Amino acid sequence: MDNFINIDFTSKNLDRYQIRSSIFNALKKTMPLFNGQLLDIGSGSIPYKEYILKNSSVNTYVGLDIENALLYDSNVKPDFTWDGKIMPFEDISFDCAFATEVLEHCPEPEVVLKEVYRILKPDSVFFFTVPFLWNLHEVPNDEYRYTPFALRRHLENSGFKDIEIIATGGWHASMAQMLGLWVRRGPMSKSKRKYFSILLKPVIKKLIKLDKNENVLFKDGQMITGLYGTAKK
C-alpha cells in the first residue's frame, strides 16, 4: 500500500504525494483516539488496515463500502457493503470510525453522518478527511468540495459534538498540489510530462516543506488543499 502509507516523493507521484501524505499524517495524529472495534467507511482497498491494527488499540477492523464500489475499482474488497443510506449494523456497535475522502461523494451527507452517529458508542470518535483542491473524480459521483463551515454544520446537524477541523494544507501546499496535478494529469505529450515533472519536482518539494497546515486560519482569502478532523458522539 505504498500509495497511501509512507509514500515516496517521486517524479511520478507529484499529483498524489501532498494529499496522500497529509491524510496519512492526520491519521497518525488521530490514532491514539482509536480503540476496540473500528469501522472504515468507504474503505476501498483498505490500505490502512494493517498499519492501524499494528499501531493502535484497535482489535477489530471492519471495512464498509458502497454496493457499486467494484464498478470503479476491482481492488475494493470490503467486509460489508451498503446502499449509502442504512448501514448493516446495530446501534452503538463501534468504538470508533473514520472516512477518508468519502463525504464528497455522498449526495446527502447528513444521511451518512447520522448513520455514523447511530452505529457509534457514546463518546466515540469519528475521524474524517475531505478534499477541497482536487480534480473531478469517480464522475458522476463527485458531489461536493467542503468548506470548514459547511462541514461543521453537517456534523452538528447529525448530532456530533467536540468538532475539530484542520486544513490539510494552506497556500504553499495548494500551489504544490496544483502543479503536481497539472504536470501528472494535465493534457501534454509524454516527453513534456517527463521534462516538466523533473523540472517541477524540487519546486513542489520546497513548497510542501514551507507549508504549515496547523497554522492555517479559516478566513477570507485563505486557500486550502482539504480538511481533516474529529468529532465525538
H helices present in 120-225, as ranges = 148-157, 171-185, 190-210
pLDDT in tens, 79-134: 999 999 999 999 999 999 999 999 999 999 999 999 999 999 999 999 999 999 99
**Could you tell me the residue ranges of all domains in the chain?**
17-232
Checking if the pLDDT of 2 tops 90, the result is: no
CA distance 29 to 75: 27
Reported pTM: 0.94
Say whether pLDDT at 72 is over 90. Answer: no
Q: State the pLDDT at residue 3.
A: 81
Beta-bridged to residue 35, according to DSSP, are: 57
Confidence band for 1, pLDDT divided at 50, 70 and 90:
very low
Cis peptide before 78, with omega less than 30 degrees from 0? no
Average pLDDT of the chain?
Answer: 95
- Specify the fold of 17-232: Rossmann fold (3.40.50)
- The confidence score (pLDDT) of residue 166 equals 98
